[in-house]
Amino acid sequence: MNVVIVEDDDLMADLLETVVSGLNPAIRVSKAHSVGDAKRLWESMNPKFFIVDWMLPDGSGLALLRDIRAKDKDVPVVMITARADRDSILKAAHYGISGYISKPFDVELLHGRLVSMIGDSLPDEASSRSLPEMLAEGLDSGVHIPGNMDVAGILALIEEADQLSGSRLAERWQKEVALSARLLEVANRSSFRRSGAPVTSVRDAISVMGVPMALNQGLALALDVGTSFTSGVIRSRALEYHALAEAVACEAQKIAAAMGKRGRLFQTAGLLSRMGELAVLSVMDRFVREGGGSLSNADIEQALEDWAQPYGNRLKVQWRLPLDLRQLIGAVHHLSRENVTQQHLVMRGAALLAGPERLSTECERLMRQLGLEAWFESLKAKPSGHEESDNDRG
């Protein structure tokens, strides 16, 4: 199902996209910034649902609604606007509006209203696509990874938003892979690049967009129906990769602290190091949920082997991750023979320390290159998982 969001404010459009795309895995969201862009998408995509801002750079959302109604009386069109007076509502109703949502809106309320409206438009039938077909389609249409945010927890944070600082919120969310990626993506959009420097940490991303909008993004992700795995086998694998990403982030921070360096960028790279695997598992779970059939362990392993790297690369571009962060994520999996920096060695070393190769010859060699021979020798004397925690000096 194709949904078009017509909104010229990038931050608001991103938030709406997060809410809408989380309603159902079958939804494909496209964004337009003007009446002209919306008309082009309307002609080329045959959307089944519109969400339209009242005021647009090249005209009124009502004018777009009038044009849509001249050709299609039934397609749902929801108006988003700061106008809440009776005359405006009646005017929109005269043009055949399907729904009316006032800004600023409550994300939970918006989610509930859209569920009732869009849910009626979704086809209720089993998927006829094979898993490779669904994976190929997902790579082309936009990639998502599952999260584990708790709705009640986000709502509690919203209640205390006035007393919540950006640094405190970043500390709470620093291990949330999906949310970290989403906040970085939004903050790195051109409209928020005030200084010209890319945003590389959750703390900086929250600083750019502000605590209230960051909380709204968190709530939108928490309400995503695709974030809860239905398949026990796939859920188990997802938890393993999530734990591994957290472990790499933790080890990278320890290495950075031992070297007297800031650990924030290394932590972000570690958290995102398994995003490809998590995205592929999310598609596999959707395949099972839509009636595609059960998947064996061999099926899961083959899909991960074939698709994890392409999905990871796609997400790096889709999320607009800065080049240095992309390279650090890549170093977790493989060190290039060229242009190897000290930072890359940190990430590769963290990956080895987080896995079964923590005491390998390769790991020892990397620690020696980083000047951490004594520090590594002290680790060898301790059992895995019982090292003392080093504080992040960043």
Q: What is the residue-wise DSSP string for 240-293?
A: HHHHHHHHHHHHHHHHHHHTT---HHHHHHHHTTTHHHHHHHHHHHHHHHTT--
Q: Name the phi and psi angles at 50, rounded to 5.
A: -125, 140
pLDDT of residue 354: 93
Sheet holding 99-102, edge to edge: 28-32, 2-6, 49-53, 77-81, 99-102
Q: Mind listing the pLDDT tens digit for each residue in 193-203?
A: 556 677 888 88
The torsion of the CA quartet 168, 143, 314, 240, rounded to 10 degrees, works out to: 60
Residues 92 and 103: their CA atoms lie apart, in Å, by 15
Per DSSP bridges, beta strands 49-53 and 77-81 are parallel
Q: Mind listing the pLDDT tens digit for each residue in 74-113?
A: 899 998 887 666 777 777 778 788 888 887 778 888 888 8
pLDDT of residue 353: 94
pLDDT of residue 386: 42
Please say if the pLDDT value at position 134 is more than 90. Answer: no
pTM of the model: 0.69
Residue matched to tokens 């320390």: 353
Taking alpha carbons only, the member of 247, 163, 249, 174 closest to residue 204 is: 174
Q: Mind listing the pLDDT tens digit for each residue in 157-191?
A: 888 888 889 998 988 887 787 788 888 888 887 55
Please say if the pLDDT value at position 392 is more than 60. Answer: no
Q: Mind listing the pLDDT tens digit for each residue in 245-272?
A: 889 999 999 999 999 988 778 988 898 8
